[in-house]
Every structure is written in C-alpha cells, then in structure tokens.
C-alpha cells in the first residue's frame, strides 16, 4: 500500500510570496502580508483618530475629554458578582454553551419592554441580539450596501458608523443639523439633488437623541416629517439610539420606530448598563430579519450566551431604571461642570451646544484654528479631545471638536477645559503674532459671539 501523502502546510514564505517575504524578513518583519493582497474594501479602513488617541489619552496625567466611555462607578458590583456566580453555578451548562444566532429569547422579550419606554411596540421575533450595536451597524451596512451606494448621515456623525460605511465602500452624504437636530428642509434638498443624479440612497442613518458627537436631539415635531421625506424618496431609515434613556430632564422621546414599523432600530446596553458586556440589538422589519440573522451567523455564529443571560438577570432582578437615573444624575453634574468651565475659561469666538442628555458637547473654535493640527499640542498640555474631522466622511470639521464629559470627575473636567483653553489661547497668540495661521484655513461660518449655540451648519 502506498504511504498516504501528507498534505503540505504552506510556509509563511509560500503564503506571502517569496520576494515580499524575503523583503519583510530583511526588514525584520517576517510574515507581513503585502498590501496588494488585501481586498479593495480594506482601503477605506483607517484607524479612527479616537482609537489612535486612546493610548496617550489614557495616561493618568492626561485629562481625557476624548472617549465616550460610560462611567461605571455607580454600578452595584457586589450584587453583580453574586449574579455572575449564581449564573455559572445554576445555569452554567447553558450560559457557557453556544446559543441561538438571533439571541436568547428571554432577553429579546425584555428588550421589547425596554423599547416600550420609547413607545415602540415590538415582537421579540423581530429582535436580533448583536455584539454591541456596533455589530448591528456593521451587519445592517453589510446587508444593504454595495460599493458606491450612498448613505445619508447627519453631519457630523458617529465615527463608528462612518467606519462601517467606509468598510463596505458606501459613500456618505452628510445632512446638516441645527439645535433641533437634522434639518428636514436640508434632507429634502439632499434627496432632491441626489434624485436628479439618478441616485437613491440606501438609507438615512440617524442618531435622534443626544447625538454623538453633536449633543443635539431631533425635535419631536420634526420626526414625522423626516420619516415622511424618506418614505417619499423610497429611502430606508436606520435609527441608532444608544443614549435615548439618558436624558437629564427625565423626558423620553418617542422613537422614530414607534412611528414607522419599517424603521431599523439599533439599541444597546453599553451606556445604560455595561459596555464591556457588548450586548446590543437590532429591531428590524420581518422582511429584513432573516437576512440579518444569516449575516450575524456568519460573523459570530451566535452572540455570547453568558453575557446575554447576565443582562437578562440584571433586568429581571435589579431596579435598572433607578440605576439609569443614578447614571444620568452623575452625567448631568459632569455636563454642568463642563458648561461652567467652558463659560469661564474659553477664549472669545468659541461656541458650543448645551446637551440635555448623553455624553457630548460639540465645540466650534475661532476661525483659523485647526483642531486636528492642535491635538498634539493639547496632549502635550495634558488634555485630550476628539477633533471634528473624524466625524465627517468628507474632510469637514477642522474647526470643530468633541468634548466628552461622561467619564472624568467634575474636578478633572474643569481642569481639562482650563488646559484646553490655554492651548487655544496659545494658538490664537500665534495667529495674532504672525497675522495668520500657518495651518490650513477652516471651513464654516464665523460664530457671532462666545458661548453656547447650535452646531455649525454644513450643507451636503
């Protein structure tokens, strides 16, 4: 009998191409895949400025106003620890096993109860649990967008969504907001212009409540109009709502999904419970559900059973609504500390919005200051922020920056804004001394006065 032939395992050199591998080895980096082998869609995948900042910004001497990390200090860790232990000892065989691709049924029912607070009537069968709402964003883009498809998004928009759109080579057309959120007239105008070019966007991606990064909330009077405009042009709506229950006035806004069952709604426990558990969800029309579940299955087989069961127990056994109230009280104190510090320290010509929920203040700096170019000098001065360009797909935002007040203490926030003000003063000094900025001119209107106001308009 002939000896069975052993399959040969390709070596690193065979996998990567001998010439390239030789070069890589010579450079001391054996096994690096040559970039021409990557799929074309990876060209749009760039590290977000925020992620790149994480390493420096997390040094203890730096006050980070950059990241949107929820403040978990108020969580009842001891009772959660007991819950974890009980989950393992009583239900470990299920919790540590593969589960359903769509998510744990009991949790999907509880998610419907959470969404009912925003007026949504949903069937648990239409809920797909995901690994954070970021995964839901990725999956939704994956099943709807081919390369070059157009997606509408507010300008500015959530950096993680822009990352997903870029990863699937979708083109983003921004629609401006004012202090009441997305401007319906500009949405209509954008859709009209696109229609004249024969383009129907795949969907409008919108964050109606306590927007990331703009901090604004879509006025209730505008909600039906936004839906009606999209319906008229045959454009879907993806509503991303991780902050909706984090209002400072106690008001809960009606979800777009509560007004239109065709809206794809994305939710998350990251901001209302624990971001590390990575439990989010999509509520989708039945016609979309099966595709979404198949896409989810190919990404993860199933979301983590253990984390879902822990969230389910937390919702069942803890007063989670009081916990959210505790969180929002802490965030309101931090928001107030930030607004006070901005009023006290910032130089003339800066403007910002006053958020009534969520994590973010969106700041416009005086003309000539480039927030991306200024960032290294800010970090040297031991304060970090997220520069505005990361929140636009089209290079706009060089005169804007996002400040997060969710994580640092009020004292640290005050100190961080004081440091930021010093950096801005130094930039303005250079401009005054040399008559002009050495940096590229900023785009956008000159704010009329110092103080809180709406984000700068930005037409598509």
Ligand X SMILES: Cc1ncc(COP(=O)(O)O)c(C=O)c1O
- Residues lying near ligand X in the complex (CB under 6 A): 68, 132-134, 158, 160, 207, 212, 240, 242, 268, 270, 275, 280
Under 8 Å CB-to-CB from 217, ≥6 apart: which residues? 180, 181, 208, 209, 210, 211, 253, 356, 357
Other Cβ atoms closer than 10 A to 74? 12
Instruction: Give least dist CB 404 to ligand X, A.
Output: 10
**Spatial CA neighbour of 200 closest among 252, 145, 156:** 145
* Residue whose CB is less far from ligand X, 359 or 419: 359
Instruction: Give least dist CB 384 to ligand X, A.
Output: 16
* Residue whose CB is less far from ligand X, 334 or 419: 334
Instruction: Give least dist CB 348 to ligand X, A.
Output: 31
CB-neighbour burial class of residue 205 (10 A; exposed 0-12, middle 13-18, buried 19+):
buried
* Residue whose CB is less far from ligand X, 242 or 349: 242
* Residue whose CB is less far from ligand X, 270 or 389: 270
The answer to whether residues 180 and 127 touch, using CB atoms and an 8 Å cutoff, is no
* Residue whose CB is less far from ligand X, 208 or 416: 208
Instruction: Give least dist CB 213 to ligand X, A.
Output: 8
* Residue whose CB is less far from ligand X, 102 or 275: 275
Instruction: Give least dist CB 212 to ligand X, A.
Output: 4
CB-neighbour burial class of residue 387 (10 A; exposed 0-12, middle 13-18, buried 19+):
buried
Instruction: Give least dist CB 223 to ligand X, A.
Output: 17
Could you tell me the two tokens for 177?
């907001």
* Distances in whole angstroms, Cα of residue 90 to Cα of each of 25, 81, 306, 310, 403: 52, 14, 12, 12, 44
Residue of minimal CB distance from ligand X? 132
Could you tell me the two tokens for 214?
């703009």
Could you tell me the two tokens for 343?
């009023």
Phi, psi of 355 (to 5 degrees): -75, 140
The answer to whether residues 105 and 124 touch, using CB atoms and an 8 Å cutoff, is yes
Query: How far is residue 22's CA from residue 419's CA, in Å, rounded to a whole number?
Result: 49
* Residue whose CB is less far from ligand X, 133 or 353: 133
Instruction: Give least dist CB 199 to ligand X, A.
Output: 25
* Residue whose CB is less far from ligand X, 133 or 351: 133
Phi, psi of 233 (to 5 degrees): -95, 5
Query: How far is residue 151's CA from residue 13's CA, in Å, rounded to a whole number?
Result: 41
Instruction: Give least dist CB 158 to ligand X, A.
Output: 4
* Residue whose CB is less far from ligand X, 139 or 342: 139
* Residue whose CB is less far from ligand X, 110 or 270: 270
What's the distance, CA 192 to chain centroid?
28
**Spatial CA neighbour of 333 closest among 399, 264, 411:** 411
Determine if the peptide bond prior to 238 is cis (ω within 30°): no
Give the side-chain half-sphere CA count within 13 A for 128: 30
* Distances in whole angstroms, Cα of residue 222 to Cα of each of 138, 177, 183, 399, 405: 27, 12, 8, 28, 28
* Residue whose CB is less far from ligand X, 51 or 222: 51
């Amino acid at each position: 009998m002939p000896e069975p032939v052993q399959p040969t395992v390709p070596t690193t050199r065979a996998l990567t191409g001998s010439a390239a591998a030789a070069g890589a080895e010579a450079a001391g980096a054996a096994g690096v895949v040559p970039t021409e082998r990557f799929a074309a869609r990876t060209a749009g995948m760039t590290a977000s400025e925020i992620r790149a900042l994480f390493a420096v910004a997390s040094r203890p001497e730096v006050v980070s106003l950059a990241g949107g990390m929820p403040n978990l200090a108020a969580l009842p860790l001891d009772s959660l620890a007991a819950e974890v232990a009980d989950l393992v000892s009583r239900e470990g065989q299920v919790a540590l096993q593969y589960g359903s691709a769509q998510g744990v049924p009991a949790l999907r029912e509880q998610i419907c109860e959470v969404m009912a607070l925003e007026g949504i009537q949903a069937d648990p069968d239409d809920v797909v649990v995901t690994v954070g709402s970021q995964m839901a964003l990725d999956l939704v883009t994956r099943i709807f967008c081919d390369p070059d498809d157009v997606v509408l998004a507010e300008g500015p928009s959530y950096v993680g969504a822009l990352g997903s759109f870029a990863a699937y080579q979708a083109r983003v057309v921004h629609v401006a907001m004012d202090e009441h959120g997305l401007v319906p007239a500009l949405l209509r105008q954008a859709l009209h212009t696109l229609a004249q070019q024969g383009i129907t966007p795949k969907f409008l991606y919108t964050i109606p409540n306590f927007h990331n990064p703009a901090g604004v909330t879509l006025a209730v009077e505008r909600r039906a109009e936004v839906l009606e405009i999209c319906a008229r042009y045959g454009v879907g709506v993806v509503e991303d709502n991780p902050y909706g229950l984090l209002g400072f006035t106690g008001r809960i806004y009606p979800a777009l999904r509560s007004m239109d069952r065709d809206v794809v709604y994305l939710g998350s426990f990251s901001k209302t419970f624990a971001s590390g558990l990575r439990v989010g969800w999509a509520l989708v029309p039945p016609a979309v559900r099966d595709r979404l579940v198949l896409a989810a299955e190919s990404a993860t087989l199933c979301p983590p059973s253990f984390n879902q069961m822990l969230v389910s127990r937390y919702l069942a056994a803890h007063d989670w609504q009081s916990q959210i109230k505790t969180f929002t009280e802490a965030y309101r104190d931090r928001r107030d500390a930030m607004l006070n510090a901005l009023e006290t320290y910032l130089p003339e010509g800066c403007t910002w919005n006053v958020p009534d929920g969520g994590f973010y203040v969106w700041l416009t700096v005086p003309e000539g200051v480039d927030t991306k170019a200024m960032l290294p000098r800010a970090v040297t001065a031991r304060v970090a922020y997220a520069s505005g360009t990361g929140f636009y797909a089209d290079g706009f935002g060089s005169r804007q920056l996002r400040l997060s007040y969710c994580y640092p203490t009020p004292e640290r926030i005050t100190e961080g804004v004081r440091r930021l003000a010093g950096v801005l003063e130094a930039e303005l000094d250079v401009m005054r001394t040399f008559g002009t900025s050495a940096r590229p001119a900023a785009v956008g209107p000159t704010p009329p006065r110092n103080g809180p106001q709406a984000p700068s308009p930005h037409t598509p």
